[in-house]
Amino acid sequence: MRVGLPRRRIAFTLIELLVVIAIIAILIGLLLPAVQKVREAAARMSCTNNLKQMSLATISCADTNNGNIPPSIGLYPSSRPASGNADGGTLLFILPYIEQDNLYKSTSSTKDDRNDFLQCYSLWTNLADKKVKAYICPSDYTQTSENWARSSYGVNGQIFRQGYGNWGGQYKSFPRSLSDGTSNTVMYTEKLARCNTGVYQDNFWPDWGPIIASEEVGSVTGPHSFSAQVKPRMSTGGMAECTGSIASTPHENMLVAMSDGSVRSVRGSINNGTWWAALTPAGNEVLGNDW
């Protein structure tokens, strides 16, 4: 009988193994940037949809209330105390128009002194620990699990004014107050949830936190005011190195919702004068070529 020879064991040498590992590392290195770009594109799309939803909700809110644009802070739909009012910021008033009617109704209270203790929907009731998905940008690196009711978006203080009638507050009218054109006027911008300086650096959305570009809170305004903060670095305590009264974005370009419901991407290098012209609703300015 023919006796078979024992089979020789097949194995990788150390050099072959190192070559394979190196090839895998190179492939991963080539793949990661593509994955990051896809993730960022998805985050920008989500952020764009949020801004569009907010702007369309605001238009619907104004249409429902005789064209009165909800204030950045105040009583609404009546600037004077009245039963059924809401007391808070813009993002509270538009909750019913972004499919958050149950959350809105859960804030009903008779303990709000600014509404003379009449029944109203109060920012101080049941909102401090509530996150609303439409108010959060997935790319906002200052959003944490502890932030709770913090938004990633800013409210243009040139459109959304203080609305407490006893303090002289008045509503803007849609679209009559926007004589520069709804497609030429910014309604919402991006604004990181936590900045480390400035007025309203904590973007607490039920209150006045999202406000930007408003002289009513002491912000510097006008064509020489600072335009936008692009990808500011992180500071301590989960905050970014940015000013709370100025628009800020985690993206390479600023996403803004216009007053006609459209969303635009604005370069971070935009001229301050052009940016201011886009914020003012009735300044008769001409937007620059960098818009």
- The two three-digit tokens of residue 91, written as one number: 């993002």
Name the band, by pLDDT with cuts 50, 70 and 90, for residue 144: confident
DSSP labels, the chain: -PPPPPPPPP---HHHHHHHHHHHHHHHHHHHHHHHHHHHHHHHHHHHHHHHHHHHHHHHHHHHTTTBPPPSEEEES-SS--TTEEEEEHHHHTGGGGT-HHHHHTTEES--GGGTT-SEEETTSS-TT---GGG--TT-TT--TTT-SB-SEEEETTTS-EE-GGGT----BTTTT-TT-GGGSEEEEE--SBEEESTT-B-BTTTTTTEES-GGGT---STTS--EEESPPB-STT-EEEETTSEEESSSEEEEEETTS-EEEEETT--HHHHHHHH-SSS-----TT-
- The candidate with the shortest Cα–Cα distance to 181, out of 277, 290, 254, 65, is 277
How much is the pLDDT for 35?
61
Average pLDDT over residues 208-214: 96
3 has pLDDT over 70: no
Beta pairing class for 120-122 and 253-258:
unpaired
Average pLDDT over residues 52-57: 98
| Percent of the chain predicted with pLDDT > 70 | 93
Contact 192, 152 (CB under 8 A): yes
How much is the pLDDT for 34?
61
- The two three-digit tokens of residue 284, written as one number: 């008769």
| Percent of the chain predicted with pLDDT > 90 | 76
- The C-alpha atoms of residue 180 and residue 284 are separated, in whole angstroms, by 6
pTM (predicted TM-score): 0.87
Contact 239, 253 (CB under 8 A): no
How much is the pLDDT for 26?
82
Average pLDDT over residues 37-63: 90
Q: What are the tens digits of pLDDT across the range 88-110? A: 999 999 999 999 999 999 999 99
Phi, psi of 109 (to 5 degrees): -155, 155
Radius of gyration of the chain (CA): 25
Domain ranges, ordered by start, for the chain: 16-65+131-279
- The two three-digit tokens of residue 176, written as one number: 């009559």
DSSP labels, 79-117: SS--TTEEEEEHHHHTGGGGT-HHHHHTTEES--GGGTT
Q: What are the tens digits of pLDDT across the range 153-204? A: 999 999 999 999 999 999 999 999 999 999 999 999 999 999 999 999 999 9
Which has more confidence, 26 or 250? Answer: 250
Q: Which residues contact 158 (CB under 8 A, 6 or more apart)?
A: 213, 214, 221, 279, 280, 281
